[in-house]
Chains A and B, each alone.
Chain A
Amino acid sequence: MAVTGLGLVSPLGIGVEATWRTLSEGGGPAPSAGPYGGSRAEVREVAGFDPRAHFAIPKALKLTDRRTRFAVAAAREALADAGLAGPLAEPARVGVVIGSSGSDLMAEEIAGVLRGEGSPGSVQEIPWFASRMLAGLNPLWLLINLPNMVSAHVAIQVGAQGPNTTVMTDWVAGLQAVGEGCAWIESGEADLVVTGGAETASLPFVFGAYEAAGLFEAFPEREGPFVFGEGAGMLLLEEAGRAERRGARVHALIDGYGAAGSVSDDGGRDAVEVAVLEALEAAGTGPGEVDAVGLASVLSRRPYGAERDGLARALAGREREIPLHAYSPRTGFALGASGAIDLVLLVKSLAAQAGAGRALCTSIGYSGQAASVAVRRQGETP
């Protein structure tokens, strides 16, 4: 599977080149307490982003949340990068599959509706809650916040009429979307697939839930604070032969994908080990051939124990000699978009480093899911 287009919106820049430059030069915005002061977690936000510049149909902006705007911008960049900036020749053959942990639900608006004049109601009183919400929220609220709207709006804005799905597996959603996109092309459902992940850091419900669950305190101090990121990473996929026929530049080839969940039996293999081994097997290769591992990790300094242990087993002892690329210390950890953002950067780094021909990108979810994508530079023997 050929990756012929890349698109990126990140706290380090708007666009792949801008992000890559900031990453290479060592700059970038300092993390802030963001909208959630007083917690151990920090936030890196996208700055200077003008969604209007990326929307072919500006009126649709009122139907989109922040993550969707990032997704549209990155998707358009990926298509343009693949030489497909204009109207698509066969719209029904172009699919869109994007991973995201969900909408921010416009919490401010919900809070505003619920504050209202002294009602005794609570959200447990469903009739009160529903009537109050329905009366007080703009009827477009649902259209903006439905989880699948991120892929729907990308399709509308780029004119992609093929299969359209949103993957909602939280931290592993971005990489699972890429795996799904590859499967669509392999099964003949689509010729081109716009895929990746999109997320906003303005997620008060998520933040509140993580804090309540003690997630921010769960890691040792030396591993650094949990740093939320945001943005979107998009890839344009097509079958390698098709890319060659139309003379497209190929950034890299994806030749393996694995996804797994955890089982409670302590004697079993954990999800990251299964996912990595599946991806390597699908690629017809093994740990000995891996030159780099990209790890979409939640932490700002180093992967946490479970990530390290699972990788160590899958890589059969080579984990210390294989360079580990963890971009989230710089970009922030963008939940459902993290795997896709990291994959875009990993593909970019494969092109930049003469020595590395084969890499793995891996995501691990806090609910025990994991996904892994095997990627290699074109021309490297599989």
Chain B
Amino acid sequence: MEDSKAIIEAIIFTSEGPVQVDKIKEVLPDVEKDEISRLLKELMEEYEKRGGGFLLLEVAGGFQFRTRADFSYWINKFLKGRPAILSRAAMETLAVIAYKQPVLKSEIDRFRGVDSGSSLKGLLERKLVRIMGRKDVPGRPIMYGTTKKFLEVFNLKDLSELPTLKELKDLHEEA
């Protein structure tokens, strides 16, 4: 049983995307889910304590190794890539969708006071936003929501990790 932790570590290391507890359970059917979660927590703490170049983090409902944000400059230099940056318009559109999903384009436009068509298109192309279906009203307009990739890109466990709109309002008033 001592090996479980090492096995979990190896699974996460091998996986391309974040690994869910359920997936680990499939590989280790004898280990209880609570135990897996506990071991994951231990692993996360170990990496944190070690203070190395990367950490084990919980993102998009799973676990994944990620570099420490402190080293972004060097990693960008190594990858010779320009970091992907979203425009302010795109960020605003994304914020409205994240908080108001499922949301219609007309609602996004109203919240922002401008047409969000091109931002929306860009977000769909980058797979940060997806079509969630059509609303059952005349014209059957499309409803939009965020994707799992959105959680991955924004380093979120799930949507509840976002500050609530009320918290944001208070935050804004303090500033």
Are the chains A and B members of one assembly? no
Tell me the B residues contacting A by CB distance below 8 Å.
Answer: none
Tell me the A residues contacting B by CB distance below 8 Å.
Answer: none
